[in-house]
Copies of this chain bind each other. A is one copy, B any other.
Amino acid sequence: MFFASDNSSGAAPEVMAALAAANDGFTRGYGADALTERVQDRLRELFEAPEAAVHLVATGTAANALALATVAPPWSAIFCHRHAHIAEDECGAPEFYSNGAKLVLVDGPHGRMTPEGLRATIAGTGGSVHGVQRGAVSITNVTEAGTVHTPAEIAALAAAAHDFGLPCHLDGARFANALVATGATAAEMTWKAGIDLLSFGGTKNGCLGVEAVVIFDPAKAWEFELRRKRGGHLFSKHRYLAAQMDAYLDGGLWLRLAAQANAAAARLAAGLATIPGVRQTHPVQANMMFPEWPAGTHARLQASGAVYYEMPAPEGREAARLVTSWNTTGADVDRFLAALAG
Binds B, one of A7-15, A245-253, A267-275: A7-15
Q: Which of B58, B62, B96, B103 contacts A74 (CB 8 A)?
A: B96
Q: Are A237 and B225 in contact (CB under 8 A)?
A: no
| Chain A interface size range | 35 or more
Binds B, one of A36-44, A111-119, A124-132: A124-132
Q: A92 to B78, alpha carbons, bound, how many Å?
A: 12
Known: A29-B4, A89-B130, A102-B95. A229 touches B61 (CB 8 A): yes
Q: Are A75 and B9 in contact (CB under 8 A)?
A: no
Q: Does A16 count as interface, using CB distance less than 8 angstroms?
A: yes
Q: A62 to B235, alpha carbons, bound, how many Å?
A: 10
Copies in the complex: 4
Binds B, one of A190-198, A202-210, A314-322: A202-210
Chain A 1-33 per-residue mask, 1 if CB under 8 angstroms from chain B, else 0: 010110111110000100110111111111000
In the complex, chain A residues 172-210 whose Cβ is within 8 Å of any chain B Cβ: 203-204, 208-209
Q: Which of B65, B89, B91, B96 contacts A99 (CB 8 A)?
A: B96
Q: Which of B24, B133, B232 contacts A10 (CB 8 A)?
A: B24
Q: Which residues does chain B contribute within 8 Å of A95, judged by CB atoms?
A: 74, 95, 100-102
Q: Does A168 count as interface, using CB distance less than 8 angstroms?
A: no
Q: Are A129 and B30 in contact (CB under 8 A)?
A: yes
Q: Are A232 and B59 in contact (CB under 8 A)?
A: yes
Q: Which residues does chain B contribute within 8 Å of A63, judged by CB atoms?
A: 232
Q: Are B234 and A59 in contact (CB under 8 A)?
A: yes
- Distance (whole angstroms) from the CB of A224 to the closest CB of chain B: 10
Q: Does A338 count as interface, using CB distance less than 8 angstroms?
A: no
Among all A-B residue pairs, the 5 with the closest Cβ atoms: A62-B232, A2-B26, A95-B100, A7-B236, A61-B232
Q: Which residues of A come within 8 Å of B, CB atoms?
A: 2, 4-5, 7-11, 16, 19-20, 22-30, 57-63, 65-66, 73-75, 88-93, 95-103, 129-133, 203-204, 208-209, 223, 225-227, 229-237, 240, 307
